[in-house]
Amino acid sequence: MINEVKVWNRGPHEYREEFKGEKIKIKPGGYVEMDYYEAEQFLGTFRPIFKDKSDRQDKRSYKCLEIDPDDKKRYLDHANNNTGVEKAFVCHMCSKEFLTKKGLLRHIKSKHAQDMVDEEARDELLDNEDIGEEDDET
């Protein structure tokens, strides 16, 4: 399927994480297949840092993952051929696509600002009058 991409574990340890209620395990040098936008969201999630006995980050908690470059290129080429326009800005909360950064920021300001954890960034976004209200720029 054209939307499916491989997410490779480039680290030396098995990678384990629960993502959207599903337990994902990737052996070193192995991969899992998932939808492109799911993969993008998966790579962007953060999890707690695990420490070893010396109070240093345990190397097994490193997230050494990447989307297979050939799969990503194939998917983006297919998506661009179907629409004729590259939609380079994606909302990580709802996966809605935008043609411009300003369109994405308008969307975040009107739909997701209340969910932002970084209060300083949220206040800066809400105070920015150049962004204005959301228009349909998908």
Taking residues 35-60, what's their average pLDDT? 85
Is 65 found in the same domain as 20? yes
The letter for the amino acid at 3 is N
- Say whether pTM exceeds 0.85: no
pLDDT band at 110 (very low <50, low <70, confident <90, very high): confident
41 and 58 both lie in a single domain: yes
92 shares a domain with 132: yes
Q: Over the stretch 5-42, which tens digit does the pLDDT of each residue have?
A: 999 999 898 998 889 899 999 999 999 999 998 999 99
Same domain, yes or no: 73 and 93: no
* Residue 50 burial (CB count, 10 A): 11
Query: Going along 21-99, which residue ranges are E strands?
Result: 22-26, 31-35, 65-67, 89-90, 97-98
Please give the order of strands across the beta sheet that includes 65-67: 31-35, 4-9, 65-67
Q: Please compute Rg for the chain using Cα positions.
A: 18
Q: What's 85's DSSP letter?
A: S
Task: Count up the domains in the chain and report the number.
Answer: 2
| pLDDT given for residue 25 in this prediction | 94
